[in-house]
Amino acid sequence: MPGPHWFGRASLGAQVSLLVALIVTIVVTAVAYSEVRLYDRDIERTLAQTARLAAESAAGVAEREPRDALDLRDSLHDLIDADPSIDAISVIDVDEAGLPRVFTSTSTEERAEILDLAGRAVAMGTPLSTQNETVVMFAQPVPRRPMLAVAVTVGLESLLQARARSVGIALGFALPSIALVTLLVHLSIRRLLRWNRTLQERVGDTARDLSVRNAQLASSQLQLLAIRESLARTERVAALGQVAATVAHQAGTPLNLVSGYVQMILEDPQTDERTRNRLRTVDAQIAQVTRVLRTMLDRARHTPQSEIVRLPAVIEHVREVSAPRLSRANIHLLIEVAPQVPPVRADASQLEMALLNLVTNALDAMPDGGTLSIAVSHDVGGVRIEVADTGPGIPTQVAEHLFDPWVTTKPAGQGTGLGLAIVRDVVRAHAGSVSVRTEPRGTVFVIILPAITLHPTAA
């Protein structure tokens, strides 16, 4: 893959700093180059203007002076002494054949370009100028002497010296500027990244704290169910607990983050008073929503009780509570409890709630009547509870997610999909397991709980 490997291995702050340094270098170089070019053009215009003025002055001298070469050359030397930037002044005479020759000059060796430029100026009757890398040349026809022209040569040594000086000044300004800007940007990025990491850590801690609290609240909702109430009341309370936990989880984290950002903006000294008043209103409303959620969850809180539970008593109570409804639905209840089933350590109300949810599912699965069986037996290291019905069974694709919240096989409006999720959570809370299988005739739910061994005296 093209590109330097070291750049990819550098930290984010170093990468951004290098990119900023590159951009600053390009911008400063472009600005410095533009300034040097403008300065060069100003000097070039100044030298061209100097050559033109000198040629006009020399043309006036050549027009007034007698045609004596030595006297005229002395006058031309006076013009050069007045402006040291002028290299040479020549008076060019053009014969009738159009061939230029030097009449007099302050230079010992005349350039061929000067002769050609003066010849063309005489032929055209107008001033002409040209320039190469080292000199600026200007030719001016002499008034009232149509075959005579004055040519001035101005050297560009001053331009080259000024250009070198400008480049030195530009480099002296650009390099410290690039280094200073890069350093400031690097320090700012490091500070920003450090602040961002701190913010992420705080947000992560807040999210984890809220997640733990929400998990505790969700677990507490399972304790709120009143087992000794009717089956309908049990399901409604369970649904309320799940919804409250979902609301707390979905709304709690965003509300806390929004409140944190509101506080940051309020503390910003650049925030105007009108915006502060609006933000205070927003923060008050967020606090109100949070209080409502907390109040609802506090009211639903229940402290679980762990005790030695004998399953025959729990099964008997489930039979008493569900008997009226089973009778009305024309469902025959069969209970089989093996002798000397060991006790378990659990919350009796939670176990009753889980079994009543399974009874409710069986009722819904047999609208035309049938048989419901509850069997308690020994298992390896524990106790096995089987709840079986003679309903139509459960499709395989549904059985895989049957214990997930909100999953239900009932028609819309007849179930929340929370009952079996509650059963799973209760059994897991007691270190047990729950599973489901479909028989040729009906569905069987199997709960396995760890048993405890009592001392003979305690027994």
Query: Which of 123, 143, 160 lies at the terminal end of a domain, its last residue?
Result: 160
Q: How do residues 196-217 score in pLDDT, each as one tens digit? A: 778 888 887 887 877 777 777 6
Query: Which of 114, 134, 160 lies at the terminal end of a domain, its last residue?
Result: 160
Whether residue 147 is found in the same domain as residue 249:
no
Q: Contact, 365 vs 395, CB < 8 A?
A: no
Whether residue 283 is found in the same domain as residue 312:
no
**Is residue 232 pLDDT above 80, yes or no?**
no
Confidence of residue 371 (pLDDT cuts 50, 70, 90): very high
User: Which of these ranges, 233-242, 316-325, 383-392, has the smallest mean pLDDT?
Assistant: 233-242
Helix, strand, coil shares, percent, the chain, to 5? 60, 20, 25
* Domain-embedded: residue 32: yes
> From the centroid of its chain, how far is CA 367?
55
H/E segment holding residue 209? helix 157-222
Query: What CATH number is given to the structural domain containing 446?
Result: 3.30.565.10
Distance from C-alpha of 370 to C-alpha of 355, rounded to nearest angstrom: 18
Residue 422's domain spans which residues? 307-450
Q: Under the phi-then-psi rule, with left for phi > 0, alpha for psi from -120 to 50, and beta for the rest, what region is 442?
A: left
Whether residue 232 is found in the same domain as residue 132:
no
* Domain-embedded: residue 5: no
CB-based burial, 323-349: b 16+ in 10 Å, e otherwise: eeebeebebebeeeeeeebbbbebbbb
* Domain-embedded: residue 388: yes
| Mean local confidence (pLDDT), 395-417 | 62
Given the DSSP bridges, would you call strands 433-439 and 442-450 parallel, antiparallel or unpaired? antiparallel
Whether residue 150 is found in the same domain as residue 82:
yes
Confidence of residue 332 (pLDDT cuts 50, 70, 90): very high
Q: How do residues 247-285 score in pLDDT, each as one tens digit? A: 554 565 566 667 766 787 888 888 888 888 888 878 876
Helices (H), 223-310: 231-267, 273-299
Whether residue 245 is found in the same domain as residue 122:
no
Please give the angle made by the CA atoms of 438, 443 and 444, to the nearest 5 degrees: 95
**Is residue 229 pLDDT above 50, yes or no?**
no
Domain count across the chain: 3
Query: Which of 160, 179, 211 lies at the terminal end of a domain, its last residue?
Result: 160
Per the prediction, the chain carries an average pLDDT of: 75
Q: Contact, 446 vs 420, CB < 8 A?
A: no
**Is residue 119 pLDDT above 90, yes or no?**
no
Whether residue 236 is found in the same domain as residue 332:
no
Whether residue 16 is found in the same domain as residue 156:
yes
**Is residue 63 pLDDT above 90, yes or no?**
no
Q: Is 120 exposed, middle or buried (0-12, 13-18, 19+ CB in 10 A)?
A: middle
Query: What CATH number is given to the structural domain containing 83?
Result: 3.30.450.20
* Domain-embedded: residue 94: yes
> Which pLDDT does position 299 carry in this prediction?
43
Tokens of 201: 């850590």
Given the DSSP bridges, would you call strands 100-105 and 307-309 parallel, antiparallel or unpaired? unpaired
Q: How do residues 337-351 score in pLDDT, each as one tens digit? A: 998 889 998 888 888
Q: Contact, 154 vs 86, CB < 8 A?
A: yes
Whether residue 145 is found in the same domain as residue 58:
yes
* Domain-embedded: residue 439: yes
* Domain-embedded: residue 70: yes
